[in-house]
Amino acid sequence: MKKKINAVQFGLGPIGQLCAKTILQKHSERINLVGAVDIDPSKVGKELGELLGIDKTGIEVESDIKNILKKKKVDLVFHTTTSFMSDVRKQLIDLIKLKLNIVSSTEELFFPRYRNREIAEEIDNLAKKFKVRVLGTGVNPGFVMDVLPSVLTQVCTSVKRIRVERVVNASKRRLPLQLKIGAGLKVSEFKEKKATGRFGHIGLVESLQFLAYVLNIQLDEIKEELDPIVTYKNLRTDYLTIQKGRVAGIHHRAIGFKDGNEVIELDLKMFIGDHRDYDAVYIDGEPPIKMKILNGVFGDTATVGSLINCGYLIFNAKPGLLTMADIGLPHGFFSQK
Q: Which amino acid is present at 47?
A: E
What is the smallest separation between the CB atom of 285 and a copy of itself, expressed in angstroms? 7
What is the smallest separation between the CB atom of 239 and a copy of itself, expressed in angstroms? 22
What is the smallest separation between the CB atom of 151 and a copy of itself, expressed in angstroms? 5
| Nearer to a copy of itself among residue 205 and residue 310 (C-beta) | 310
Distance of CA 264 to the CA centre of its chain: 20
Distance of CA 19 to the CA centre of its chain: 12
| Nearer to a copy of itself among residue 73 and residue 331 (C-beta) | 331
Distance of CA 280 to the CA centre of its chain: 18
Q: What is the DSSP string of 190-218?
A: HHHHHHTT--S-TTHHHHHHHHHHHHT--
What is the smallest separation between the CB atom of 294 and a copy of itself, expressed in angstroms? 4
What is the smallest separation between the CB atom of 184 and a copy of itself, expressed in angstroms? 27
Please name every residue paired with 9 in a beta bridge, in sequence order, or none if there are none: 36, 78
Which runs of consecutive H residues, i.e. helices, occur in 8-165? 14-26, 48-52, 65-69, 85-97, 117-129, 147-152
> By the criterion CB under 8 A, which residues form the site for a copy of itself?
1, 22, 26-27, 139, 143, 147-148, 150-160, 214-217, 258, 263, 285-295, 297-298, 301-306, 308-310, 324-326, 328-337
| Nearer to a copy of itself among residue 149 and residue 184 (C-beta) | 149
CA–CA dist 57, 12 (Å, integer): 15
| Nearer to a copy of itself among residue 92 and residue 304 (C-beta) | 304
| Nearer to a copy of itself among residue 3 and residue 331 (C-beta) | 331
